[in-house]
Amino acid sequence: MRTIIKGGTVITAADTFAADLLLEGGRIAQMGADLPAAGARVVDAGGMLLLPGGIDVHTHLELPFFGTVASDDFYTGQRAAVFGGTTSHIDFAIQHKGESLHQAVENWQHKAQDKAVIDYGLHVAITDLNDTVMAEIPSLVSAGVTTLKLFQAYKGVYQVDDATLFRAMLKAAEAGMLVMVHCENGDVIDFMIRDNVAHGRLATEYHARSHPAWAEAEASLRAIALAGIAGAPLYIVHMTCAESVDQLRYGRARGLPVMGETCPQYLFFTTDNLRQPDGAKYVCSPPVRTAADNDYLWQALSAGHLQVVATDHCPFLFDGTQAIKYEGENYQKPGKELGAGDFSKIPNGMHGIEDRLLLLWTYGVNTGRISANRFVELTATNPAKIFGLYPRKGTLAPDSDADVVVWDPAAELTVDWRQMHMRVDHNVYDGRRLRGRPRQVFVRGELLVDGSAWHGRRGAGTFLQRSSHAPVI
């Protein structure tokens, strides 16, 4: 089907201009003034902005974690993503001990297969790096998986030692792959958690106290230094505080190929939230920090010290003893209540896949902290470039995929989890007044979201084969 989106203002990372878009064959066939509308469905976008669909490069759909599983699967999470203006994402295929990396990819493909409604890619998270696995790394490129993730934290579960991280960096650099790292000092954190638990300090706020900012800063600098030695590009996921972003700035100022991401929760919440009766909702790793860190991160986004806003979307029900309705069906799974009385047992993770663009627009663009172009750069263009999807995704240009958000900058909403589409029983932004939201969302030329109507189809999403040797931004 041909669609013409008429009368809108196109926003890319670099430009703002009036243009009609002709969508055909899943691509943007033409952009320009007064495109002929004969035989096409016409969407009047007068007064609207046209944005490239958001790309969320950090999600955990259906992740088994803390003895339960993240509550959004590849259908519910992707559906929510589209309602929030995100049209593709990259999830983490996590290698279980003893498995090959290709096996991990296959496991995650299996989760996604019949459910996916939008295009998705996969990173491989390496947790068991023996020589066989090391030799396997370059072969992931031909499978379209060009990014590896390693953890300096979660001792005994995901954590790898420095030699392992360094060897993976060497191997990845050779193959033109990018290494992503969760930077926190897992040894220190493991000790602090055990110590707090042993002394009966079990309240939710001890989650943050056991994950200090300097543990993140130390691990960040260590990863940056290892990347410098290996000559390997590095992407640090979910940076939360001034201490760690300063390390990134230090590395970048010295010309190292290092980049950083933050997520909405780190822009809005502090350890005060952990002291609320519902503090478990705010438990994620690394933890939420201070109001000064919130401000610092906003400044880092505006000044260009951070390159991407992703989400680390990994929701859990707040009260998993109660079923919720999702598209008319009951859903129930153990959630945050697992940690009632012991912070160390609270499933780590928060929602964000649907909230990201809404929040960043209201609190970033509307406040003048970032421009609309920078918004596009942080949420779509940089993610596409860094992760080997550009220019197929991440911009509006002839021949790019027709992933288009018709954005209404004047539309207002008050956040209420019941009106959102993530499969979770709360929203940590409940009650906030937001201005600016998607009116329509096209994915490869198909209208998936039209106001509150949903037209997505399970199984329509495809796996994104990503390129190696992506640029460092």
CB of 312 to Zn ion, least distance (A): 4
- Of all residues in the shown chain, the one whose CB is closest to Zn ion is 312
> Measured from the CB atom, is 56 or 401 closer to Zn ion?
56
Binding mask 133-172 for Zn ion (x = CB under 5 A): ----------------------------------------
> Measured from the CB atom, is 186 or 456 closer to Zn ion?
186
Nearest partner of 346 among 427, 284, 423, judged by Cα: 284
How many residues are present in the chain? 473
| Contact status: 218 vs Zn ion (CB under 5 A) | no
SS (H, E, C) the chain: CCEEEECCEEECCCCEEECEEEEECCEEEEEECCCCCCCCEEEECCCCEEEECEEEEEECCCCEECCEECCCCCCHHHHHHHHCCEEEEEEEEECCCCCCHHHHHHHHHHHHCCCCCCEEEEEEECCCCCHHHHHHHHHHHHHCCCEEEEECCCCCCCECCHHHHHHHHHHHHHHCCEEEEECCCHHHHHHHHHHHHHCCCCCCCHHHHCCCHHHHHHHHHHHHHHHHHHCCCEEECCCCCHHHHHHHHHHHHCCCCEEEEECCHHHHCEHHHHCCCCHHHHCCCCCCECHHHHHHHHHHHHHCCCCEECCCECCCCCCCCCCEEECCEEECCCCHHHHCCCHHHCCCCECCCCCHHHHHHHHHHCCCCCCHHHHHHHHHHHHHHHCCCCCCCCCCCCCCECCEEEEEEEEEEECCHHHCCCCCCCCCCCCCEEEEEEEEEEECCEEEEECCEECCCCCCCCECCCCCCCCCC
CB of 252 to Zn ion, least distance (A): 22
> Measured from the CB atom, is 141 or 314 closer to Zn ion?
314
CB of 327 to Zn ion, least distance (A): 26
> Measured from the CB atom, is 59 or 247 closer to Zn ion?
59
> Measured from the CB atom, is 312 or 446 closer to Zn ion?
312
Nearest partner of 256 among 268, 265, 246, 248, judged by Cα: 248
> Based on C-alpha coordinates, what's the Rg of the chain?
21
> Measured from the CB atom, is 261 or 446 closer to Zn ion?
261
> Measured from the CB atom, is 263 or 420 closer to Zn ion?
263
CB of 256 to Zn ion, least distance (A): 23
> Measured from the CB atom, is 236 or 360 closer to Zn ion?
236
Burial of 341 (0-12, 13-18, 19+ CB in 10 A): exposed
> Measured from the CB atom, is 23 or 208 closer to Zn ion?
208
From residue 219, alpha-carbon distances to 120, 304, 369 in Å are 29, 22, 29
Binding mask 279-318 for Zn ion (x = CB under 5 A): ---------------------------------x------
> Measured from the CB atom, is 10 or 350 closer to Zn ion?
350
> Measured from the CB atom, is 312 or 377 closer to Zn ion?
312
CB of 358 to Zn ion, least distance (A): 21
| Contact status: 56 vs Zn ion (CB under 5 A) | no
Distance CA 148, CA 104 (A): 12
Structure tokens belonging to residue 198: 């042993």
Number of chain positions touching Zn ion (CB under 5 A): 1
Give the footprint of Zn ion on residues 311-370 (CB under 5 A): 312
Instruction: Kindly list the residues in this chain that would bind Zn ion in the complex (CB under 5 A).
Output: 312
